[in-house]
Structure 1
């Protein structure tokens, strides 16, 4: 059976027309239990921070925001401890243009957007799917064996290399369930060349 990713902004009627009879699951931060646990904003706790041995964060989004570097602000370790699914974002309006993501809280290298997606976001989110959300992954595999599934997200971009649109975590869930996880190294780089093993 198929797993599709559709926009949460669509009406229920539009979703039903696009995927008749499918099981529809909202995996965003506004979704119901237990599927809200697939949101990158969900505070699972204990998520290893890439390039930062011994450091963990509450949520994937918290890690992503903590390592972001702006023209007017460096990393923000405080984002790692946020458990409310609110107050995680750090904005250009407040801090100025984004310079990149730091390779670790104390790292001396700034990663570009494409590198950061592969070396920070993907390993952190994969860890969630392999550990605290493993039961939900197993349930999705069970459900998709018999029924078509629709995962709702605010964005539907499944291409890690498409930097013009935010990456869909629902698309990453689909990739993980189907065994098609994206490469976690930039093109031309050997796997794990930059990770230092810290995201394991």
Structure 2
């Protein structure tokens, strides 16, 4: 299936030259309907929070930010309720270095970055793909069956084990669509 991931920052001319004739689909929080629903910032609601039985979040990014623990701040459950796609991020500049991600809102264990990607982010995003965006995944599969598709994201890192740059949800979407979900990722 010819699905590619490219930076949203590329010009249309650059994309057209690199992927002639491809359908270009923006899947970021700045995309239009219906593709914006594939953004981890999109407020689908009802997304289970890993390690927190009965607790749900509006968005995948809300989960990731809520469970992040900094030198100067613990978890922030308010991030689970954010329904706008702005004001979700918690930064090192404000709270100091990240110590890890807590195993749930009240968990005692802090997960290192790669482990948190595998046990928090991936299961949460996969849940959205299965339960809130299955129709869009199927549209991408069909489109990829007839020609090239380019998914736009702000980052293109599809390697869960590479902490140098943020993980690309478009790369995860491509993997899910192609049936090659990253190894070691559990379900939410």
**Normalization by structure 2: what TM-score?**
0.98
Query: What is the SS of the residue equivalent to 1:100?
Result: strand
Task: Could you list the structure 1 runs, at least 4 aligned residues long, displaced by more than 4 angstroms after superposition.
Answer: none
Question: Using the alignment, how far apart are the partners of 1:105 and 1:171 within structure 2?
Answer: 28
Question: Using the alignment, how far apart are the partners of 1:79 and 1:13 within structure 2?
Answer: 38
Q: Deviation per CA, 1:54-101, whole angstroms, max 9, x where unpaired?
A: 000000000000000001110000000000001000011111111100
Residue in structure 2 matched with residue 60 of structure 1 by the alignment: 60
Offset, 1:4: 0.4
Question: Using the alignment, how far apart are the partners of 1:108 and 1:161 within structure 2?
Answer: 24
Q: Deviation per CA, 1:3-42, whole angstroms, max 9, x where unpaired?
A: 0000000000000000000000000000111000000000
Cα RMSD of the aligned pairs, angstroms, is 1.0
Query: What is the SS of the residue equivalent to 1:182?
Result: coil
Residue in structure 1 matched with residue 35 of structure 2 by the alignment: 35
Structure 1 stretches of 5 or more lacking a match? 186-191
Q: Deviation per CA, 1:113-149, whole angstroms, max 9, x where unpaired?
A: 0100000000000000001101000111111110110
Residue in structure 1 matched with residue 107 of structure 2 by the alignment: 107
Question: Using the alignment, how far apart are the partners of 1:50 and 1:16 within structure 2?
Answer: 40
Query: What is the SS of the residue equivalent to 1:145?
Result: helix
CA contact (8 A) 1:158 1:167 kept: yes
Question: Using the alignment, how far apart are the partners of 1:170 and 1:15 within structure 2?
Answer: 16
**Normalization by structure 1: what TM-score?**
0.92
| Larger helix proportion of the pair | 2
Question: Using the alignment, how far apart are the partners of 1:100 and 1:142 within structure 2?
Answer: 39
